[in-house]
Amino acid sequence: MPFDGARAWWWMALAVATAATLGSLSLSGIGPLGWRGLGYFPCELCWYQRVLMYPIPLVVGVALARRARGFAWIVLPLAVAGFLVATYHVLIQANPALEAGQCYVGSCVGGDLLFGGLVSVPQLSWAAFLLVAALALMADRAEAAAAG
């Protein structure tokens, strides 16, 4: 079977979106394999980001299984909208005065949950949405190039 660049990009997007989904479930207490997770409660902005991220592994996974083409138009709006919400979340973290009641829990913005002491949950979400959007664009370009 010849190398299919578009499918490779989509597999990478699936890996990133699945990792982000399992990571957020683990943080809030619904971990993989029945693990109770860390018990963090998501704020309103975290919920919006979850609503936008959780369908992505399903859409990409089903499309890969069916060998579908041209489904970037489904993934990109979810990834871009999630990226925008995550950008606002990161801005709130950097400048709490911008917060308007969405982060009522505060653990994600307050900085008490940092990975490696450097990266916060909103920053991880921002990076995941950015990566998924970039990988979807790369896959779409590869599909267009293969089509002619």
pLDDT tens digits, 14-37: 999 999 999 888 877 665 544 455
The predicted pLDDT at position 28 comes to 75
Domain carrying residue 95: 5-147
**What's this model's pTM, rounded to 2 decimal places?**
0.86
In this prediction, residue 17 carries a pLDDT of 97
Q: How many domains does the chain have?
A: 1
Please check the confidence at residue 74 and state whether its pLDDT lies above 90.
yes
Highest mean pLDDT among 92-101, 114-123, 127-136: 127-136
CATH label of the domain that carries residue 143: 1.20.1550
Q: 3-state SS of the chain: helix, strand, coil percent to 5?
A: 70, 5, 25
The encoded tokens of residue 28 equal 């809030």
